[in-house]
Chain A
Amino acid sequence: MERVPLERKVLSENDRIAGELRARFQEHGILCLNLISSPGSGKTSLLERTLESLPRNDRVAVLTGDIQTENDANRLKRFNFPVKQITTGGTCHLDARMIERHLADWRLEDLDLLFIENVGNLVCPASYDLGEAAKIVVLSVTEGEDKPLKYPSIFFKSDLLVLNKVDLLPYVPFDINVAAGNARKVHPGMEIVKVSCLTGNGLHEWMNWLEQRRTAHKSLQETVS
């Protein structure tokens, strides 16, 4: 019997493609953000609110993933930015190859910001690198405040937690401080913004975070080039 050391990642093929995507995003100065949440937490609503408030000539695009239907792409196309639906046909996450394929007929030199809306799922998307600069996890107050403890991986790997649907706080037994505490147990120092995509409450905090990220990305870009 001989034992051969393998010492590589299980998803090394995905990671290889993600690495190529990251290099292309870097080359074109694109900030890529990967949005992850349970189904129905408000990823699409957050993107609608975001696209609505960005200047019409902003260089932004969205790839949105679901198992079936073009519904999300149709919701997001109203804002006249490039939007493409990725239907996975059953797979519960997006992988780097799907991103590569769906970017094929876009001119990356025309973009500064790319949102990827992952398939609604708190588990699998955490394992698949898509070449993004950061993952963002969205949690709504109608879910449990212990979600970060139950699904630590995604909270651990995300730079920002967007707590959505805060307009419903008076009606649900959700302690926002407990939820934030749980998120920071898993990910000490995690940044958190509280928003309601319905009323618009707190969205300026999210837009500020986004603006800061874009500025930081741009200055990093200038230092590199």
Chain B
Amino acid sequence: MRRETRQAAFLQEIMHEMGIANSVLEAVRTEMGLHPGTYPCKVGVRIGEMAAIDQEALRFCFEAIIQETDLASLELGIEVCPRRHRCEICGQEFIVRDYDSRCPQCASLETACISGDELELAYLEVEEYGASTAGAKSTQ
């Protein structure tokens, strides 16, 4: 494949994560308005296994858009959430592996998904200006 075609294919693939990275950054900027005198160090997101988000691509996009901005040192924390089901017969909650949604306790197939498609902002860590000698540089 020609180099430009490969690049275009790659960009097309990560376009989704680029949009997500932008939304995360927008949320950080909005939130920072509520915390004067501080700067953001780390933003935490939760991503479900079923959310169709590639972690590495998200990290790549995030780092690309913060580069050479005032948020260049902002760290991205990603927590991956497995798909969890609850058995409708015995109430057991369990993690679904390899699409096997049978209840491990009573073998029932009547189980319902309770989590695993998260795409959520979890937290933001902020530091007061002058509080750390590391300044705005990341501790990553």
Contacts and interface: CB of A to CB of B under 8 A. Distances in A.
Contacts of B122: 5-7
Interface of chain B: mostly helix, strand, loop or mixed: mixed
Given A13-B23, A93-B16, A152-B50, A4 B126 contact: yes
B50 to A, nearest CB: 5
A50 interface: no
Interface residues of A, number: 31
A124 B16 contact: yes
A4 B126 CA distance: 8
A8 B31 CA distance: 12
Nearest to A123: B52
Contacts of A151: 52
Contacts of A156: 50, 113, 117
A2 B126 contact: yes
Interface string B31-58: 1000100100101110000111100000
A153 interface: yes
Contacts of B95: none
Given A127-B53, A153-B51, 5 more contacts: A2-B38, A11-B119, A13-B26, A92-B12, A149-B99
Interface of B: 12, 15-16, 19-20, 23-24, 26-27, 31, 35, 38, 41, 43-45, 50-53, 99-101, 109, 111, 113, 117, 119-127, 131-132
13 contacts: A9-B121, A10-B20, A12-B27, A90-B15, A91-B15, A127-B53, A151-B52, A152-B52, A156-B50, A156-B113, A185-B99, A185-B101, A188-B109
Interface of A: 1-13, 90-93, 123-124, 126-127, 149, 151-154, 156-157, 185-186, 188
Which 10 residue pairs of A and B lie closest in terms of their CB atoms, listed nearest first? A153-B52, A124-B16, A6-B121, A185-B99, A92-B15, A4-B124, A10-B119, A126-B52, A123-B52, A10-B23
